[in-house]
Each structure stands twice: as structure tokens, then as C-alpha cells.
């Protein structure tokens, strides 16, 4: 299976761009279909779904802008690049999702107090089924791209469309239950659970985005793998003060490499280059800074400070 470590930056940027364009295109098509369905059927449920699709367009546009901006090469003023634009996008998306959840929650409470009649038309039902299937295909595609590229923006956009799956499914089920069993209350119960899921999902997305913006360490499995790669080299005496963070598209890796103190500066530099090349083979888009230390010296270390 292809992984992000095997993809070059140009390919990753291209995949993310295609995923964001697909998202915008689908949101536009579904909005027009739902608008027509709401107009001909007079269904409030379908109309609310159409409004949600309009918010999808806004969210997808934010994703597209973030993906395009994050793909820009590093500049003199931004030497680490623009990858964190995706985390900003994910944070904005989280706000949109949370707001949608609160809206649905308030609407559910209102419908408990003042129940509304759900209009049932074959055309509206057909549009919702088409919307459900098309959105499911888009989410599958987005999840695949997000896995390959580790894109927070695409992952956040995908989470937004998961909401649409739940919303569309609840509307379809509600229409069917009202038609065959006269369960008008089911729509309200479903809306309540969707709202809870929306708010929870938004919190998870916001947490991940804030971790990136606040330079949270990479997953322990990644850190362990980096150390494993470095320690494969027989000339490495030790490693300390490893620091890692996500720059959005790239990893930032800093470490102190302990080498034989009798080596010349030139020799130590050559050995460090070998270590850097090995780490880059596993994480080709990483930015790596290696400080060479003579083994055995006594100095104040970051590792010791953090354990206090």
C-alpha cells in the first residue's frame, strides 16, 4: 500500500487539490438538486439540508484555499513553509461544524415543543438518496487522500460531509417512518443525536488543529521510529534532545547526535549527513536539524529539564 512517506511533495499537493475540487463540485451540485426538491415538494427537512449543503460549499472553499496556500514553497519571511495553513483551516471548519451542531440541537428542542409536519414526496426522497450515495463516495475518496497525505484540511472537510451522511440518512429514514408508521417524533430524536455527534466531532478536529498550531510532539510511534533509524548506524553513540513537530505538510525534526569526540568537524558532518539521509528516506518531506555532540560530555539537556 502506498504511504505518504513514498509520495513526493508535488504529488501530495496535487492529490489534496483534486480532493478539495471534488468536494466543492459535489456541494454545488447537491445544493441545486436540494433547492429544486425543496421548491417542488415544500419539504422543510429538504430545505434545511439544502442550507447545510450551502455551508458545505463555504467549508470546501476554505479547504481549497488552505490546501493551495499550504502548498506554497518556503519564503524568506516564512522559512518553515506555509503548511500550518491547513491547521487554521481545520480549526475554522471545526467552528462551522460546532455551529451546525448547535443549530440542529436548538431546532430539535423547538420541534419537541412545536412538532412540525414532514412532507413526503417521491422527488424529495429520490434527491436525498442520491445525495446520500454521492456524499458517501466523496467521503471514501477524501479519507483515502487524507490517509495518504496526512492533510488536516481534507480530513476536516471529510468530517463535515460525515455530518451530511447522518443528516441525509435521518431525513430518508424519517420520511419513510412518517409515511408507513406515522412516527413524526423520530425526526426530532435523530436530530438530537446528530447534534451531539457534530459537537463532539468538532471538538476532536479543533484539538488536532490546535496541537499542530501549538507545536505538539509527533506521535510516539513516529518518534520511536526516528530513533530506531538513527541507532542503526554503528558510529552513533547516542541521541538526546529529540524534538519533533508538524508543520502541516512536513515534519520538523531536531536532535543532538552523540559521536566519537576524536572525529574532525568534517568527519562528524559527513556522518550526520548519513543519518539525515536515512531519516529522509522514511520521511521525505521532513526538515531536519542535527547538532553534533562529542560523546561523554556533561551538559544541561532538554530531556533532563522536561523530566523534572
Match domain 220-307 to its CATH number in 3.30.70.1350, 2.30.40.10, 3.40.190.80, 3.40.50.720. Answer: 3.30.70.1350
pLDDT at 79: 84
pLDDT at 50: 73
Spatial distance between the Cα atoms of 280 and 87, rounded to a whole number of angstroms: 23
Question: Could you tell me the CATH superfamily of domain 4-213?
Answer: Cation efflux protein transmembrane domain (1.20.1510.10)
Q: Is the dihedral of CA 204, 206, 212, 217 positive or negative?
A: negative
pTM: 0.70
pLDDT at 181: 74
CB 90 within 8 A of CB 153: yes
Residue appearing with cell numbers 427537512: 45
Question: What is the chain's pLDDT, residue by residue, as a tens digit (308 residues)?
Answer: 444 455 667 788 788 888 888 888 888 888 888 888 777 766 656 666 676 677 677 777 777 787 788 778 888 898 888 888 888 888 887 888 788 778 778 877 877 777 766 666 677 788 888 888 988 898 888 888 888 887 777 877 787 777 778 777 877 877 777 667 766 677 677 777 777 877 887 898 899 889 989 999 999 999 999 999 999 999 999 999 999 998 876 899 999 999 999 999 999 999 999 999 999 999 988 999 999 999 988 888 888 888 75
Strands 287-294 and 238-246, by their bridges, are: unpaired
pLDDT at 44: 58
Which sequence spans correspond to the domains of the chain? Answer: 4-213, 220-307
DSSP 221-285: HHHHHHHHHHHTSTT--EEEEEEEEE-SSSEEEEEEEEE-TTS-HHHHHHHHHHHHHHHHHHSTT
Residue appearing with cell numbers 572525529: 263
CB 295 within 8 A of CB 262: no
Encode 56-81: b = buried (16+ Cβ within 10 Å), e = exposed.
bbebbebbbebbebbbeeeeeeeeeb
Question: If DSSP codes are grouped into helix, strand and coil, which group holds residue 35?
Answer: helix
Query: Identical fold at 4-213 and 220-307?
Result: no
Spatial distance between the Cα atoms of 43 and 240, rounded to a whole number of angstroms: 63
Amino acid at each position: 500500500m502506498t504511504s505518504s512517506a513514498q509520495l513526493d511533495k508535488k504529488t501530495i499537493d496535487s492529490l489534496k487539490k483534486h480532493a478539495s475540487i471534488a468536494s466543492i463540485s459535489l456541494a454545488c451540485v447537491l445544493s441545486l438538486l436540494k433547492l429544486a426538491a425543496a421548491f417542488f415538494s415544500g419539504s422543510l427537512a429538504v430545505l434545511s439540508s439544502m442550507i447545510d449543503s450551502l455551508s458545505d460549499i463555504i467549508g470546501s472553499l476554505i479547504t481549497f484555499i488552505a490546501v493551495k496556500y499550504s502548498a506554497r514553497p518556503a519564503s524568506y519571511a516564512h522559512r518553515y513553509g506555509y503548511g500550518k495553513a491547513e491547521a487554521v483551516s481545520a480549526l475554522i471548519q471545526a467552528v462551522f461544524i460546532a455551529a451546525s451542531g448547535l443549530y440542529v440541537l436548538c431546532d430539535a428542542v423547538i420541534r419537541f415543543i412545536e412538532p412540525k409536519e414532514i412532507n413526503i414526496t417521491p422527488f424529495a426522497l429520490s434527491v436525498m438518496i442520491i445525495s446520500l450515495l454521492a456524499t458517501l463516495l466523496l467521503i471514501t475518496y477524501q479519507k483515502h487522500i487524507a490517509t495518504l497525505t496526512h492533510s488536516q484540511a481534507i480530513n476536516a472537510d471529510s468530517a463535515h460531509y460525515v455530518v451530511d451522511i447522518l443528516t441525509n440518512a435521518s431525513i430518508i429514514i424519517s420520511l419513510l417512518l412518517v409515511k408507513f408508521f406515522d412516527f413524526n417524533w423520530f425526526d426530532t430524536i435523530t436530530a438530537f443525536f446528530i447534534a451531539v455527534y457534530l459537537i463532539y466531532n468538532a471538538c476532536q478536529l479543533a484539538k488536532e488543529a490546535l496541537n499542530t498550531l501549538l507545536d505538539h510532539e509527533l506521535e510516539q510511534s513516529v518518534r520511536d521510529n526516528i530513533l530506531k533509524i538513527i541507532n542503526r548506524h554503528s558510529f552513533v553513540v547516542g541521541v538526546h534532545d529529540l524534538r519533533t513537530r508538524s508543520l502541516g505538510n512536513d515534519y520538523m525534526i531536531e536532535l543532538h547526535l552523540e559521536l566519537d569526540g576524536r572525529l574532525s568537524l568534517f568527519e562528524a558532518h559527513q556522518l550526520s549527513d548519513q543519518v539525515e539521509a536515512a531519516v529522509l528516506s522514511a520521511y521525505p518531506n521532513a526538515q531536519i536539524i542535527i547538532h553534533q555532540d562529542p560523546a561523554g560530555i556533561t551538559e544541561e539537556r532538554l530531556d533532563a529539564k522536561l523530566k523534572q
